[in-house]
Structure 1
């Protein structure tokens, strides 16, 4: 594995230390990928500690996972909250001022709010200082939710929190004296600590090489473009190594240069070239053009050196908790014909309005195809409940009348969660309607692309135009309209019945096989 090679090279010369510190963003997708990276490094004989900004409960569910063969070499630790609470609260206050109202979908706003609250809810009450700090932050986020329409603050808050956590990370690095520090893409602000302590540092991208190419090139775009992405209309953005894409398909926080998040991402992009290397959750065959273009130095800003690029993927969670719901899914899939089922799942925080849920249901019914659909409760319209953990969805209320009865012979609706890895690996699954999160992309199933947030619109462009592994659901990018039932029906039928769908499945299988061969050669 190339990423392991990088860490080993940095820790294997005489007299060097074999401890690797991993520093993830405290979000589930980022954390899962970092833990999988830690397992790989542990398999190569390195000792790994994963230090998480803020305190996240890490006690495993009893009996939930079999022990990893390398678990004795991978430790998950947690950091104390920032000491200077007033600074963070002041920064949050500053970021709420002067934010413009936009025509964002209410669903999009709700998702941003919910994401912030989920991060807060992960903070433990166990430490005395946190007992006073957590309610203050909750109050501030409540104020944000009540007063702000354009809430592109999740990323901005993440950058600020990581910055304020720097003193704690420094204490840890001084105490454990590691040979290597691997930081999440969002955590570039900690590089100053690594440089001060002369610790070799690597960036870890939880998304693919094409997104890495885009961010390496962002400082160049910043200098060349004279308008915001949001004001470019359908003009194409050109980045070396990736397909041209329409400006609105850039990440939401990058739409306006005045956004605090834009400033944070631009700083990250500038710092990318100052590390010892970039580790990417991908494999060369899947994104060969992007990998080779980055390696050749075509994406770097003038005057800077491109760091080495290490392809470590696909990092897919190796163990799943298969509870009652998961067993029900797998048992149902066992009874279905090969490649006859379309799976619909939109990530851990992807949620639709009640109207959109009904459109999807009507489309699935009209398609006549078998389906397995994970449904989550829609965002609440009550401001007081927007931060709460979503309840189990009321399927009788959300779905069209007698929908479950009419589709019981060819469909299964699951509340809130299903074991995605096990579902998508099942031979009866022939397609996947996905939000285009990178972890879902790496599951290697032919896809209908329905991006929702983060870098997912960029992923959709790469999947469809470059990799030929997906077809987009039309209308997902219209902020004022729903994706219609007839579009859902047509695309699901196309995926499972048409010659085009067969070609898509063949391409996906080729990509999977090529990835295995690529990994074998590098091993």
Structure 2
């Protein structure tokens, strides 16, 4: 196809996009000069071949995207299984329900964990992936997980650019989907006239915090944990003590906070946000986000719950659902610390003892303990007995009071009620047109 014809098709089929300043020319988005300098010095110089298919490098010079091709979505997950798994499930929805193909662009800090290889290796037809060259952190020992994630992406930007250029030249690339730590890739997508969408993999309340954080940062001079009054999150209708805000923003002098703030500021540069929640779960918060009560925000698409479907729930999953059905509304305490929230053995036992003494009904998403609080972030749990580390007799003593459940079983207890399918259909229709 002639170059001008190709450009005309892009102009007709894609919506106009806001011009996004590059990181190099916009210091307001730079967490710290030292961080960015180190990131620029360490960017990979590896040249990525033109086209990727099922992780095999296949140069195909004759492929030219046309309107007759299947729409294609590039998906860029941040390092960590908690980021990868929801996005693979989203890609499956694209493929099975909307006939969209997709390619995962996977950054890495070393050899991929077995759990990651298993997830990527089980993707259905129409979903491909390419692993970027690994990033080294020998120059930054002991950095926090949040900082490492952001720098992994920043140090991989040149490789990301090569892959996106190849996809734009060989497929009908209609969108780039990334998560909250990948906002620096938005600039590259803008250069290629590809609309970027952020997949917010937590709740609407967390998304509200992201949009509110830049204003809070300007209003408050002390550490948030030292605030005498709780923080009222706009659109949520509740106040949160500063000490209960997410751990990465508890030390405002740390690079982890600067990166968190950096990405929060850049949320508004996206063309839209796919929210892993649904209207009936957070009606007030989602309405506030969609009605622009928090400012001039991109469109919000509640498409959740997006949960892992890689294995059957089995008997324990059905037991969990039945137990939940038998409890009064609002009577169960749900406990989960996410993919990076591994407790130490001592902390886990303290929590177990507290639950037992409280006599509170609970559903606990539990994983084996580790010395490092973020030990499970980039990998997954082992295949050992999942309950062997709990206090002896704990399960027997709390039978009927609580249930220790698997993550997928707990998530599948929540129904979409049809609202998420409608929202996702609206978004995909924009891409196809």
Normalised TM-score (structure 1): 0.55
Distance in 1 (alpha carbons) for counterparts of 2:353 and 2:347: 10
Q: Which residue of 1 aligns with 2:391?
A: 399
Does 1:33 pair with 2:24? no
Does 1:18 pair with 2:71? yes
What number of residue pairs does the alignment pair up? 343
Alignment of 1:234-245 (within 5 A): 235-242=229-236, 243-245=238-240
Shift in Å, 1:280: 0.9
Comparing both structures, which one devotes a greater share of its residues to helix? 1
Alignment of 1:102-113 (within 5 A): none
Q: Which residue of 2 aligns with 1:47?
A: 101
CA gap of 1:275–1:407, structure 2 versus 1, over 3 A, is closer
Asked whether the 8 Å contact 2:274–2:300 carries over to 1, the reply is: yes
CA gap of 1:390–1:306, structure 2 versus 1, over 3 A, is closer
Which of the numbers 262, 268, 272 marks the counterpart of 1:273?
268
Q: Which residue of 2 aligns with 1:206?
A: 201
SS where residue 163 of structure 2 aligns? helix
CA gap of 1:157–1:443, structure 2 versus 1, over 3 A, is farther
Does 1:75 pair with 2:70? no
CA gap of 1:254–1:284, structure 2 versus 1, over 3 A, is same
Alignment of 1:432-511 (within 5 A): 440=411, 443-444=413-414
CA gap of 1:350–1:256, structure 2 versus 1, over 3 A, is closer
Query: Unpaired runs of 5+ in structure 2?
Result: 1-12, 16-64, 373-377, 426-433
Does 1:289 pair with 2:289? no
Does 1:175 pair with 2:166? yes
Distance in 2 (alpha carbons) for counterparts of 1:420 and 1:214: 24
SS where residue 128 of structure 2 aligns? strand
Asked whether the 8 Å contact 1:357–1:399 carries over to 2, the reply is: no
Distance in 2 (alpha carbons) for counterparts of 1:224 and 1:279: 28
Q: Which residue of 2 aligns with 1:158?
A: 149
Asked whether the 8 Å contact 1:375–1:393 carries over to 2, the reply is: no
CA gap of 1:267–1:320, structure 2 versus 1, over 3 A, is same
Q: Which residue of 1 aligns with 2:417?
A: 516
Deviations 1:457-498 (A, max 9, x none): xxxxxxxxxxxxxxxxxxxxxxxxxxxxxxxxxxxxxxxxxx
SS where residue 39 of structure 1 aligns? helix
Q: Which residue of 2 aligns with 1:509?
A: none
CA gap of 1:221–1:518, structure 2 versus 1, over 3 A, is same
Q: Which residue of 2 aligns with 1:225?
A: 220
SS where residue 125 of structure 2 aligns? helix
Distance in 2 (alpha carbons) for counterparts of 1:291 and 1:389: 31
Shift in Å, 1:378: 3.3
CA gap of 1:330–1:389, structure 2 versus 1, over 3 A, is closer
Shift in Å, 1:33: 0.7
SS where residue 89 of structure 2 aligns? helix
Asked whether the 8 Å contact 1:376–1:393 carries over to 2, the reply is: no
Query: Unpaired runs of 5+ in structure 1?
Result: 1-8, 93-139, 145-150, 382-386, 425-439, 445-511
Asked whether the 8 Å contact 2:72–2:174 carries over to 1, the reply is: yes
Distance in 2 (alpha carbons) for counterparts of 1:405 and 1:216: 41
Distance in 2 (alpha carbons) for counterparts of 1:293 and 1:404: 42
Asked whether the 8 Å contact 1:241–1:290 carries over to 2, the reply is: yes
Shift in Å, 1:81: 1.7
Normalised TM-score (structure 2): 0.65
CA gap of 1:247–1:357, structure 2 versus 1, over 3 A, is closer
Does 1:320 pair with 2:311? yes
Instruction: Give the CA RMSD over aligned residues.
Output: 4.2
CA gap of 1:248–1:367, structure 2 versus 1, over 3 A, is closer
SS where residue 75 of structure 1 aligns? strand
Asked whether the 8 Å contact 1:344–1:373 carries over to 2, the reply is: yes
Asked whether the 8 Å contact 1:36–1:315 carries over to 2, the reply is: yes
